[in-house]
Amino acid sequence: MDEPTQSQINHLLQLESSDEFDQVRPRSEQGGLFCMYVPESRTSEALQYGSDVDIVAVHGLGGDPYRTWQHENGFNWLQRLHEELSGVRVYTFGYESGMAFSGGLKGLNDHARYLLYLIKRARPSYAEQKRKVVFVCHGMGGLLVKQALLLANNERGIFGSLQEAICGILFFSTPRAGARTQDYEAVLCQMADAIVFHTPAEKLMENFRTTLLESLRNIAEGLSELEDQFRKCVQGIHLSSFIEKSLLPDMSNMLVDEYSGRYGRLIPLLDHDHRQICKHPSFASPGMGNILSELRDIAQHKSAALAGSWVPALVIEPQDESAAVKTAASLRNEALLRAAATGNIRALERLIDKGADFNTSNSQSETALLLACQYGYADIALRLLDAGADVNGCDIRGKSPLHFASGRSDSELALRILNQGANPNLADKSSSTPLHCAAEYGNAAIVKHLLDHGANCFIRNSLDELPARIARKSHQLEAMRVLHSHAQNLNQESCLQLYHFEP
What's the DSSP call for residue 306?
G
For each of the domains in the chain, give its residue range(s) and CATH number, in order of start.
27-40+47-316 (3.40.50), 326-390 (1.25.40.20), 391-502 (1.25.40.20)
Please list the rounded mean pLDDT of every run of 10 residues in the chain (503 residues). 43 33 42 82 41 90 89 92 89 86 79 94 89 93 93 87 90 70 54 52 52 63 74 82 76 66 68 84 86 84 39 33 57 85 85 90 90 88 95 93 89 95 94 92 91 93 90 86 84 51 42
**137 and 206 Cβ atoms separated by less than 8 Å:** no
Nearest Cα neighbor of 84 from 367, 353, 290 is 290
Cα separation, 44 vs 206, whole angstroms: 56
**64 and 97 Cβ atoms separated by less than 8 Å:** no
pTM tops 0.75 = no
Cα separation, 380 vs 371, whole angstroms: 9
Output the pLDDT for position 441.
83
Q: What strands, in cross-sheet order, belong to the sheet with 53-58?
A: 32-37, 89-94, 53-58, 132-138, 166-172, 238-244, 265-269
A 10 A CB-CB count for 20 gives: 9
**180 and 186 Cβ atoms separated by less than 8 Å:** no
DSSP states of 123-157: --SHHHHTSEEEEEEETTHHHHHHHHHHHHHH-HH
Residue type, 407: G
Nearest Cα neighbor of 419 from 387, 391, 396 is 391
Burial track 433-450 (b if 16+ CB lie within 10 A, e otherwise): bbbbbbbbbbbbbbbbbb
What's the DSSP call for residue 228?
H
Cα separation, 310 vs 302, whole angstroms: 9
Output the pLDDT for position 81.
92
Q: Is 181 helix (H, G, I), strand (E, B) or coil?
A: helix
Output phi, psi for 206, to 5 deg.
-65, -40
Nearest Cα neighbor of 380 from 392, 371, 390 is 371
Measured over all CA atoms, what is the biggest interatomic distance in the chain, rounded to whole angstroms?
Answer: 81
